[in-house]
Amino acid sequence: MTETKPPLLRSVLYMPANNERALAKLPTLDCDAVIFDLEDSVAPDTKPGAREQLRAHFEAGFETHAVKAIRINGIDTPWFTEDLMAARACLPDAIVMPKVSQRAHLQLVEDALSETDAPKSIKLWAMIETAAGVLNVADIARQARSTVDRLEALILGTNDLFKEIALSEQNAREIAHSWLMQIILAAKANGIAAIDGVFNGFRDINGLELECKKGASMGFDGKTLIHPAQITPANLLFAPSEEAVAEAQAIVAAFDQPENADKGVISLGGKMVERLHADQARALLARQVAIKACEMTREEK
């Protein structure tokens, strides 16, 4: 498998597939990705209509710089097959699979896409939102390096996960910290993105910012969002800080000095810095370059 880097996914906004007013606002939004949702935000009796609305929306064409993903209903629902075929026909950047509890779920979708000659540009994002999904997350993520090479991201589904385990909302993330880290480790070990779950209080920007800071410090690449007001804080807090960029630049510059070319460790600013820190610094600077390029593209449009 050819290894590719996941796209920039600091802010991933859920948008009901049948909300025409929300769809019309998409060109003005600065989210890195949008998930057109056919699952939780669409009532059962309106799902067929939402599917057709989404299909028509893609056929008509629309302007956005964001990565375009479609969340379909799960394999154990009566809407799965038609959702999958409609999503494949839309040719999005990614299809989001809810409640992935075992790697066979991904293999089923991969096989269906292959049988319909779906282009490899359509990636898969797997939602980890069940106890079984957490227990099997390493095996699920390993599919990114095996037969399901479409797998590009793991998305944490906190609402469903915490509900299944009956965790109190007040301190659920603290109790579940070790489980969340398992998701991040599985993603990082297999070169795919790890996206944090939603913050439900869309009017509580301070609470959102705190959760973004904690998520970024844990290693999440971005956060799923439920309201446009959450986009700017997520973009800011899942980007490297000015201090981090300056430190990374200093580390890279130091190791680029001829006298340090063969050294595995150097002294810099009163600290011992290893070559692995230079690799981390280059990765951080590459992320910053991607963010700046994204911002420039948005300004041009």
Quote the pLDDT of residue 280: 87
Residues 6+ apart with CB under 8 A from 118: 88
146-196 pLDDT, tens digit per residue, is 766 899 999 999 999 999 999 987 789 999 999 999 999 999 999 999 999
271-283 pLDDT, tens digit per residue, is 899 999 998 899 8
- 277, 267 Cβ separation under 8 angstroms: no
Where does the pLDDT of residue 104 fall: very low under 50, low under 70, confident under 90, or very high at 90 and above? Answer: very high
Quote the pLDDT of residue 1: 40
Percent of the chain with pLDDT over 90: 78
